[in-house]
Amino acid sequence: MEISLIDAAIKGFMNILHLKVFLAMCVGVSIGTFTAVAPQGLGMPLVYAIMLPVVIKWEPVTGIALLIGASSVSAICAAYLPVLFGIPGGSGSQATVLDGYPMGKRGEAKRALGASFMAGGMGCLIGTFTLAAAIPAAKPLIYLMGSPELFVVVLWGLSMVAVLAGRRPLKGLIAAAFGLLLATVGQQEQSGIMRFVFDQPYLLDGISVSIIALALFGIPAALDLALMRLGVEQQPAPLTGKLFDGVKDTIREWWLVVRCSFIGVWVGIVPGIGSQVVDWFAYGHAAQSCKGGAATFGTGDVRGVIAPESANDAKDGGDLVTTLLLGFPQGVVTALFIVALLAWGYLPGPEMIKKNPEVIYSVVWIQGISGIVGTLIGFGLSTQLAKLAQVRYSVMVPIIFIFVLMGAFSVTRDPADLLAVVGFGILGYLMRRFGYPRPAMILGLVLGSLMERYLYRSMASYGFTWLARPAVMVLLILAGTSFFFAVRGRMKSAARNDDDS
Amino acid sequence: MTAKFTLFFVAVFAGAVWWGWEWPYIAKLMPVYVAAIPGLVLSVIQLIGEASGSEVSRAKRAEGIEMDDTYKAGVDKKTEMRRTLTYFAWFIGGAAGIWLLGIVITLPLLVFLYMLVEGREKLIPSVIMAACTYGMIWGLFEYTLEMRWPPGLLFGY
């Protein structure tokens, strides 16, 4: 029986009023904070890949609390590395380096951090409110969508890989096709036919997404640390200045925070833009719209920290809109979140809105509360957290080794897990080395099983006539048009560069 | 070298088409028609572009968002090669150690040796980190959560 959205919102809140859920959220927030602060190696995709095999055995809301708790704060405290070392703390905080590091070098590191915590917390809340508002707004539209429409929506998301793959769209599509192919390894759910199993019992259930994600992201990330010898060959800026100055700056620039937060939400919702650009969009907007920005941005202007940090945090709310309401992820983290939801028996998208709206609202509540807790942790423990950012590679690399090897081996405890993690680790290194985007492969891998499910249902129910459904045709036109314009824009820019040279 | 890596994808997609061709339609729809055939076509185009050199110049000219972080070693080529090989030797050694000795022995040992030998840390921090690792693997997983790790080939896996 369906329940009203207000009842679902209340029930979603009641679901999280359990000690173990609250504790899981706090552990998630702590993990997310550590991940954001620790030297580059531990990105959120890696953390999700490590936690996935563990949390899918938990009760759903407790597992959701851990995962969302971690990801919702990962951007709030992401300014430590940009401000102290002048290196990006992860995707979404690259633009922060431009003004954060000059502030750090001139003795205003704490002011920059205070601004980033406050802007991040406000951005997170704006993103969460948008997510909450999107559920009732999208519900009538979502009810019109069946398997054929959802297949086209997922296909649309995948086609955007070509746009996301920057200067090498073909490589992005090849990586996505490879992910789709890997998703079909094992026994087919619908027919029971073995595909690419080669008489290996290990491959019967397919290759674990956790192992692939751990290897693809963990191994190259730790290699970066080992190559750069962070903390040994690179020294941080001094942690001086006042946190509260940054808070005052952010409150004074509240309208900039609101504008950039909505840029973040928009980037999260629109298929195919991704976290790599959210900070640059916000930074570019701020540099153009702020008074005197053209002259001061890039030299240590606090608005150059506020803009990207608020957008980066708000983006998570937008990401969850498409993940929960349409069932397709915008990046690796939400792709792995979908894997967890599927393992708990939820099918993200219209089916989840119809059958489990209270779980969606639990996600909303956890997202908002975690954002507040993460901001408070940032303010309360700024000095201690700064020490974490200075952990040497010689400590971080073995920690990553532990989590990657233990995370992979815990999936089935089969020695073949070790072979798989080594193989995919080397593949991840080579993909990164030769410009094949790893997120495209993960998107293909996760969306592959959803695509096959929707395609099978569409073919079984309608044959090829599903292609003539009006909503399918509209979505195909939208997908085709957005793909065409994206590719045309790229060709124009290449032609323009040709003329320039 | 990039072309050689693209050749890997060509081989994988070609192999998938060959293997899946005889499957019933419903089984080969996704792997063959949606993934492998388009993947094969795209990777062959990519390979031709790389072999002719046009892909490299096009990529240099083009603008756009990068989905993944781009590779920048930040050190000279010789150092990069040495550090990369050393890194993978440690990692593969760790995986082989788990297979032979079991995870409870290997991971603390890996942490201790990496910190001491590769990271040139002092003995005491290396021992403390190794002890913490052992505490987490044995104390938390084996003792508290009763999650038994396999003992390793040499101890009767």
- Given an 8 Å threshold on Cβ–Cβ distance, is A421 in contact with B80? no
Tell me, rounded to whole angstroms, the distance of Cα A467 from its chain centroid: 32
Chain A nearest CA to B87, separation (Å): 7
Per-residue pLDDT at A92 exceeds 80 = no
Per-residue pLDDT at B130 exceeds 80 = yes
Give the number of domains in chain A. 1
> Residue B102's closest chain A neighbor by CA?
A415
A91 touches chain B (CB under 8 A): yes
Tens-place pLDDT, residues B102-118: 998 999 999 999 999 99
Tens-place pLDDT, residues B70-83: 556 667 888 888 99
Give A230's pLDDT tier (boundaries 50, 70, 90).
low
Reported as type and span, the H/E element at residue A195 is: strand A194-195
Q: Is A234 helix (H, G, I), strand (E, B) or coil?
A: strand
Q: How far apart are CA A146 and CA A134, in angstroms?
A: 19
Contacts of A95 (CB under 8 A, 6+ apart): A279, A280, A282, A283, A304, A307, A308
Tell me, rounded to whole angstroms, the distance of Cα A413 from its chain centroid: 28
Chain B nearest CA to A245, separation (Å): 33
Give A408's pLDDT tier (boundaries 50, 70, 90).
confident
What are the counts of helices (DSSP H) followed by strands (DSSP E) for chain B? Answer: 7, 0
Give B47's pLDDT tier (boundaries 50, 70, 90).
very high
- Given an 8 Å threshold on Cβ–Cβ distance, is B95 in contact with A422? yes
- Given an 8 Å threshold on Cβ–Cβ distance, is B23 in contact with A455? no
* B52 vs A111, higher pLDDT: A111
Kindly tell me the sign of the dihedral angle through the C-alpha atoms of A320, A322, A326, A327: negative
- Given an 8 Å threshold on Cβ–Cβ distance, is B42 in contact with A174? yes
* A475 vs A411, higher pLDDT: A475
Chain A nearest CA to B118, separation (Å): 7
- B/e letters for A87-108, b = 16+ CB within 10 Å, e = fewer, are bbbbbbbbbbbbbbbbbbeeeb
Domain that holds residue A316: 5-500
Tell me how long chain A is.
501
- Given an 8 Å threshold on Cβ–Cβ distance, is A228 in contact with B74? yes
Q: What is the DSSP letter of B35?
A: I
Q: Is A117 exposed, middle or buried (0-12, 13-18, 19+ CB in 10 A)?
A: buried
Q: Across the interface, which of A402, A430, A434 has its CB nearest the CB of B133?
A: A402
A168 touches chain B (CB under 8 A): yes
Q: How far apart are CA A490 and CA A361, in angstroms?
A: 39
- Given an 8 Å threshold on Cβ–Cβ distance, is B5 in contact with A436? yes
Q: What is the pLDDT of residue A333?
A: 84
Dihedral of the alpha carbons of B24, B26, B27, B28, in degrees to the nearest 10: 80
Interface probe, candidates A50, A184, A461, A491, chain B, greatest B C-beta count within 10 A: A184
Which whole number is the average pLDDT over A157-174?
73
Contacting residues of A for B120, CB less than 8 Å apart? 394
Q: What is the pLDDT of residue A40?
A: 56
Q: How far apart are CA B86 and CA B80, in angstroms?
A: 10
Tell me, rounded to whole angstroms, the distance of Cα B105 from its chain centroid: 23
Q: What is the pLDDT of residue A166?
A: 59
* Count of beta carbons in the 10 Å neighbourhood of residue A469: 17
Q: What is the pLDDT of residue A496?
A: 62
Contacting residues of A for B95, CB less than 8 Å apart? 405, 418-419, 421-422
> Residue A449's closest chain B neighbor by CA?
B30
Q: How far apart are CA A103 and CA A347, in angstroms?
A: 46
Q: Is A406 helix (H, G, I), strand (E, B) or coil?
A: helix
Interface probe, candidates A174, A278, A419, chain B, greatest B C-beta count within 10 A: A174
A493 touches chain B (CB under 8 A): yes
Tens-place pLDDT, residues A126-162: 999 998 888 888 777 777 778 888 888 888 777 766 6
- Given an 8 Å threshold on Cβ–Cβ distance, is B150 in contact with A413? yes
Tokens of A12: 């979603």
- B/e letters for A235-271, b = 16+ CB within 10 Å, e = fewer, are ebbebebebebbbebbeebeebbebbbbbbbbbbbeb
Q: What is the pLDDT of residue B6?
A: 93
User: What percent of chain A is modeled with pLDDT above 90?
Assistant: 15
Give A379's pLDDT tier (boundaries 50, 70, 90).
confident
Which whole number is the average pLDDT over A17-38?
86
Chain B nearest CA to A167, separation (Å): 5
A92 touches chain B (CB under 8 A): no
Contacts of B99 (CB under 8 A, 6+ apart): A415, A418, B152, B153, B157
User: What percent of chain B is modeled with pLDDT above 90?
Assistant: 50
> Residue B43's closest chain A neighbor by CA?
A174
Q: Across the interface, which of B9, B27, B118 has its CB nearest the CB of A195?
A: B27
Contacts of B26 (CB under 8 A, 6+ apart): A188, A190, A191, A456, A459
Contacting residues of B for A438, CB less than 8 Å apart? 68
- Given an 8 Å threshold on Cβ–Cβ distance, is B5 in contact with A430? yes
* Count of beta carbons in the 10 Å neighbourhood of residue A402: 22
Tens-place pLDDT, residues A347-378: 888 888 888 888 999 999 998 998 888 888 88
Interfacial A residues in 29-68 facing B (CB < 8 Å): none
- Given an 8 Å threshold on Cβ–Cβ distance, is A398 in contact with B111? yes
Q: What is the pLDDT of residue A158?
A: 76
Residue A229 gets the label, from left (phi > 0), alpha (psi -120 to 50) or beta, of: left
Q: What is the pLDDT of residue A486?
A: 66
A415 touches chain B (CB under 8 A): yes
Give A234's pLDDT tier (boundaries 50, 70, 90).
low
Tens-place pLDDT, residues B5-46: 999 999 999 999 999 999 998 888 889 998 999 999 999 999
Q: How far apart are CA A428 and CA A436, in angstroms?
A: 9
On average, the pLDDT of chain A sits at 82
Contact A366, A65 (CB under 8 A): yes
- Given an 8 Å threshold on Cβ–Cβ distance, is B91 in contact with A196? no
> Residue B8's closest chain A neighbor by CA?
A427
Per-residue pLDDT at B69 exceeds 60 = no
Q: CA A155 → CA A70, A163, A177, distances in Å?
A: 29, 14, 12
Q: What share of chain B is helix, strand, coil (3-state, %, to 5)?
A: 75, 0, 25
A453 touches chain B (CB under 8 A): no
Q: How far apart are CA A80 and CA A87, in angstroms?
A: 9
A406 touches chain B (CB under 8 A): yes
Kindly tell me the sign of the dihedral angle through the C-alpha atoms of A394, A398, A399, A404: positive
